[in-house]
Amino acid sequence: MDFACFRRPRLGVRCSKHSAKVWIRSKAKAYGDTISSRIGILFAAALIPLLIGTVFAAVHHAEVIARRTGEPYGTLVLTVAVTVIEVALIASIMLSSESSPVLARDTVFSVIMIVSNGLVGLCILLGGLRYREQGFRVTGASAYLVVLIVLATLTLVLPNYTQARLGPFYSPSQLIFVTLITLALYGVFLYIQTVRDRDYFLVLDTEGLGASSEVPRNRAVLVSAALLVLSLSAVILLSKMFAAVVQAGTTLVGAPEAVVGVVVALLVLLPESVAAVRAAQENQLQKSLNLALGSSLATISLTIPTVVAVNFRLQKDLVLGLDGEDTVLLMLTAVASLLTFGTGRTNILNGFVHLVIFATFMFLVFVP
C-alpha cells in the first residue's frame, strides 16, 4: 500500500477509508503473528525438555524390564518402546491439517541413516578406540541386514518404478500388499530372534558383562511395566503438541521439509543411542548392534503399516519413493554395512566410513 495516503491533507494526497482499514488490518495481523511466534518459541522451549524427559523415563522403565527378561528380549523391549514413540509422533504430525505427504518417508529414511551410519559408526569408532577390535555374531548381523535391505527397497525404492501409479507413490492395492508383506517379514524375523535362533543375537562370551547385571525383582518389573505404559501414553499426548511446534519452527527458519523427519528421528533415537554407545564402551558390541539395527528394522516394519492406515483415513497422497540422491545414499549404506558386518570383527576404519556417510546425509539435508 502507498504510505502517501496517510500524509497531511495540505500535501494534496487523498486516500479512501477502505485503503486505510486494509493497511491497519495488515499491520494488526503482522503484529499478532509476531506475538504468536514469540509465544510459540516459549512454548517449544518448555515442551521439548518435557517431551525428552518423558522419552527417557519410558526408556528407563524399558531397560528395567530388559534386565529381567535378558537378551535378546531386553533390547527388543527397548527397541519396540522407542519405535512406538516414533510412530506416535509421525501419526500425530500426519493428522495435523498442514502435514507434509513426505513426512513418513523422510522420517523412516532419516532413522535408517542415523542408526545404520551415525549410531553404528559412533559405536564402532568408540569401541575400536578403546579395545582396538571388537567382535559380534555374523549370523545375527546378517539376519538384520537381509530383512532391512529387503524392506527398505520395497518401501522406499520400488515405488519409483511401479506402473499402477506414476511417481513415488503406491496404488491403494499395492499399499495393502506392501503392508502385509512388511508385517509378515517382521513377524518371521521376531520368531527367529526370540524363539528359533535366539543364540544368533546373544552377547559373545568374550564381551563384557555390563555395568549393571543385577536382576530386578518381580514387583519392580511390574511397576516399571505400568510406568512404561503411562510414559508412552504421555509421549503420545505430548507428541500432538510437539507436531505443531516442529512444523512452526521449520517454517519460521525456512528449513527444508526433510528437516522435520530428521528432528523427529533424532528426538526418539536419543535415549536408545545413549544405551547403544554405553554398551559399545563396555565391550558389548553385539548389544549395540541389536539396538541399532533392530531399531531400523522396527521403524520400517511398524511405521509403514501405521502411516498407510492413517493415509487411508485421511485420503491423502503418501509419498514413499526416495529421490535420486537419497537412493544412492541408501544403496551405499547397504553395501558398506554388508562389508562391515561380513567378517565378525570391526575396527575404527569401519566406524569412520559409516560416519562419513552419515555426515554426507546430514549435509545434503540442508544443502540438497
Which percentage of the chain shows pLDDT scores above 70? 78
If pLDDT is split at 50, 70 and 90, which confidence band does 326 have?
Answer: very high
If pLDDT is split at 50, 70 and 90, which confidence band does 100 have?
Answer: confident
Which percentage of the chain shows pLDDT scores above 90? 30
Name residues whose C-beta falls within 8 Å of residue 82's C-beta, 6 or more positions apart in sequence.
59, 268, 269, 271, 272, 295, 298
Q: Considering the entire predicted model, what is its pTM?
A: 0.78
pLDDT score for 116:
93
pLDDT score for 86:
72
pLDDT score for 97:
56
Instruction: Look at the alpha carbons of 113, 117, 122, 124 in this order and tell me if their dihedral is positive or negative.
Output: positive
Pick from 284, 274, 279, 281: nearest CA to 208: 284
| Grid coordinates of 57 | 523415563
* pLDDT at 222 > cutoff 80: yes
Return d(Cα 103, Cα 5) in angstroms, integer: 46
Q: Are 158 and 166 in contact (CB under 8 A)?
A: no
* pLDDT at 358 > cutoff 80: yes
CB atoms within 10 A of CB 265: 26
| Grid coordinates of 350 | 569401519
Q: What is the largest CA-CA distance in the chain?
A: 94
Find the mean pLDDT for residues 19-45.
49
Find the mean pLDDT for residues 149-154.
95
* pLDDT at 234 > cutoff 70: yes
pLDDT score for 356:
97
pLDDT score for 152:
94
Pick from 235, 264, 234, 252: nearest CA to 94: 264
Q: In this predicted model, what pLDDT tens digit does every residue of 243-289 receive, in sequence order? A: 666 666 667 667 676 777 787 777 777 777 888 888 898 888 988 88
Whole-number average pLDDT of the chain: 79
Find the mean pLDDT for residues 203-219.
66
Phi, psi of 267 (to 5 degrees): -65, -50
* pLDDT at 212 > cutoff 60: no
Q: Are 354 and 120 in contact (CB under 8 A)?
A: yes
Residue keyed to cell 530428521: 262
Q: Which CATH number fits domain 24-366: 1.20.140.10, 1.20.1250.20, 3.30.930.10, 1.20.1420.30?
A: 1.20.1420.30
* pLDDT at 142 > cutoff 90: yes
pLDDT score for 10:
42
